[in-house]
Structure 1
């Protein structure tokens, strides 16, 4: 099987698995326990992982909050900031192409008296900074913008957006879902005007069910007030009650460590694979259209459409040989609202697939995939003309 659905999830790195095993079998103590060695070893594993994440993102160690993943992190920040700042206003700004774990909490808050502005995007999936600033008003308490889009790979200029938001109104809380860009973009959180950043481990060759939210502290090391999503204990700086998933956290730490070691090499590898796929489509004379932007794009993601062939038909025809998807795994049963926002017609959306690569993808696999796509296209062309 050629696996090209890595924007949905990546395979786990073997060294990540090996780092986790001892904490599943031998070091099973609760890190919140006291004095005994099982607890202390587990606690050390957690804190080593926290340091590895901090090193990857250039943030403070005590800014790293472990969660079950980006979906929980996004819900925690959006709902928590809304609740803790409801005396300051009831307005949130996000975009129409955000992941469902951002859009759904916003829709939930709308039903409870909050006003939500959804910014539009251009044909490349980028927001207009002027429109964003014009949308901020005195009641605005939160702006949430995804750094990289999971369907077409568009990268937003988070540095410019953060600078502009904070210059316009420094009290507005700025949240960034960075799930798709971690390990594929160099990030220095300490230099960003970002108050919270969320991501998942399983997008960087780590385990599922674990992620982190980076919550910026001020110059005096004070943490911002955010109402916890999960009450029940004072774990994670008081932001998230629950016994820590030690093995998963250790796995995230190892994945972060690996990402730090070979970040630039990884970026170049993924970019070359993406370019190779586009090049191979031309070599094999496959009629296609690229939906993804040509620059400022996540190197591992390519969204492409094939005229007159339904994407579900193509995916099913290839399913024994190649794993592809039509878009986000969290919205797989619905037509892509992302592609709709970019201006594609319903017919074009139904002809589009997402191809996404990992560090083990080979050029030979890309060549084989394009040839298989070409066979399917020829089959249906001969059937229906």
Structure 2
């Protein structure tokens, strides 16, 4: 999806240049349908949904309709939706809130300190809350992925026992695009650790995979609107019906069933639901919209740089499809990123959430999958919208050729 983006011209003046935006894993441009829904809700459903007057009731109806639309779009009939402000907040509630809720039950049943299992390449908003549980008496263990960035069922099975309180594994990795077999991991957890709860960070995968949340079966699932074309500032935690109730992380007016206090963001929820509906419709029409474009993008890049090294998954069954991380030997990622930007291509280098927008540091994820050290600072991440044309994807290879020529 080409977008208009400001860039500096030769004399320092801001000019308008057509940019091909391939950094959707960092944030996706709001979809037109989401912006329209946001504006409509801001105009017609601006009141506090907790107010008793008619305008409040109108806002409350809009909020509940958004929850229903989200459940339909994500295939989550067996879940309820707890609205949050960010994916970080949703993951924290799903991890610390659930772990705290089941700790005493697990310890009584096992006679041991409760354990938490998490992969070593989770996004920091999942990994850090899990690590923090060690200060509350939990035993926190990190599971290493394979070279593709996938936590296999066998790796989890080796760690499971009745003393496990929480398993937290992302559906898709934010840097590599590796896809975990969540449904199988959930089944294995239930079979061996009957009192454990299973949380999954679906922030990167939501809206980009056709599988329903119901088919995953996790106890809690986190999403964030801005990753699939909603408006930033709204996210959600899906809680499976019948699963333990997480303990709230903050106190207040008791909104969201007491789990997340604070006046609800009606406009954001309506926009998120609209974006989710668009993504579901696109996947229904073409389940391979990401995988096929990723393959074409890879071919274009390899034509320009035959020595390029794919980082992360290569087999489709463990590949999200919307993310392609690739190392260009002998280059520095940040330098190459800006040369591509000058050619009209906007891509990423590692996780935007951990780079703080300035510079590039060596990725802990690349270290964890044991990528050769000489490649770790030469990795770019291209992340797709799923609507790019063949011409646009071919243009990335052309731009890369020019960028590499400037480095020689």
Match status 1:9 vs 2:27: yes
Seen in structure 2, the aligned counterparts of structure 1 residues 283 and 347 have a Cα distance that, compared at 3 Å, is closer
- Work out whether residues 171 and 200 of structure 2, in 8 Å CA contact, stay in contact via their aligned partners in 1: yes
- Three-state SS of the structure 1 residue aligned to 2:274 is helix
Aligned counterparts, 1:218-233, within 5 A: 218=242, 224-233=244-253
> In structure 2, what is the equivalent of residue 33 of structure 1?
51
Q: How many residues align?
A: 376
- Three-state SS of the structure 2 residue aligned to 1:163 is helix
1:50-72 Cα shifts (integer Å, max 9, x gaps): 01111122223761111112210
Tell me how far 1:282 sits from its aligned partner.
3.6
Match status 1:154 vs 2:174: no
1:2-61 Cα shifts (integer Å, max 9, x gaps): 111011111111111011112223421111111x22111111111111011111222237
Distance 2:177 2:234 in 1: 23
> In structure 2, what is the equivalent of residue 128 of structure 1?
152
Distance 2:376 2:251 in 1: 41
> In structure 2, what is the equivalent of residue 323 of structure 1?
346
- Work out whether residues 78 and 214 of structure 2, in 8 Å CA contact, stay in contact via their aligned partners in 1: no
Distance 2:268 2:102 in 1: 32
Query: How high is the TM-score relative to the length of structure 1?
Result: 0.93
Matching residue within 281, 285, 291 for 1:261: 281
Match status 1:356 vs 2:383: yes
Query: How high is the TM-score relative to the length of structure 2?
Result: 0.88
Matching residue within 57, 70, 79 for 1:53: 70
Seen in structure 2, the aligned counterparts of structure 1 residues 151 and 285 have a Cα distance that, compared at 3 Å, is closer
Matching residue within 367, 377, 398 for 1:340: 367
- Work out whether residues 311 and 326 of structure 1, in 8 Å CA contact, stay in contact via their aligned partners in 2: yes
- Three-state SS of the structure 1 residue aligned to 2:324 is strand
- Three-state SS of the structure 1 residue aligned to 2:158 is helix
- Work out whether residues 74 and 207 of structure 2, in 8 Å CA contact, stay in contact via their aligned partners in 1: no
More divergent stretch after superposition (18-27 vs 347-356): 18-27
CA RMSD of aligned residues (A): 1.8
- Work out whether residues 100 and 247 of structure 2, in 8 Å CA contact, stay in contact via their aligned partners in 1: yes
Seen in structure 2, the aligned counterparts of structure 1 residues 357 and 62 have a Cα distance that, compared at 3 Å, is closer
Seen in structure 2, the aligned counterparts of structure 1 residues 149 and 109 have a Cα distance that, compared at 3 Å, is same
Match status 1:247 vs 2:267: yes
Matching residue within 107, 110, 126 for 2:131: 107
Aligned counterparts, 1:275-294, within 5 A: 275-284=295-304, 286-294=306-314
Distance 1:141 1:259 in 2: 34
Distance 2:245 2:61 in 1: 27
> In structure 1, what is the equivalent of residue 42 of structure 2?
24
Unpaired runs of 5+ in structure 1? none
- Work out whether residues 98 and 244 of structure 2, in 8 Å CA contact, stay in contact via their aligned partners in 1: no
Aligned counterparts, 1:195-210, within 5 A: 195-210=219-234
Distance 2:69 2:309 in 1: 40
More divergent stretch after superposition (105-114 vs 89-98): 105-114
More divergent stretch after superposition (77-86 vs 172-181): 77-86
Tell me how far 1:238 sits from its aligned partner.
2.1
Unpaired runs of 5+ in structure 2? 1-18, 108-113
- Three-state SS of the structure 1 residue aligned to 2:198 is strand
- Work out whether residues 117 and 168 of structure 2, in 8 Å CA contact, stay in contact via their aligned partners in 1: yes
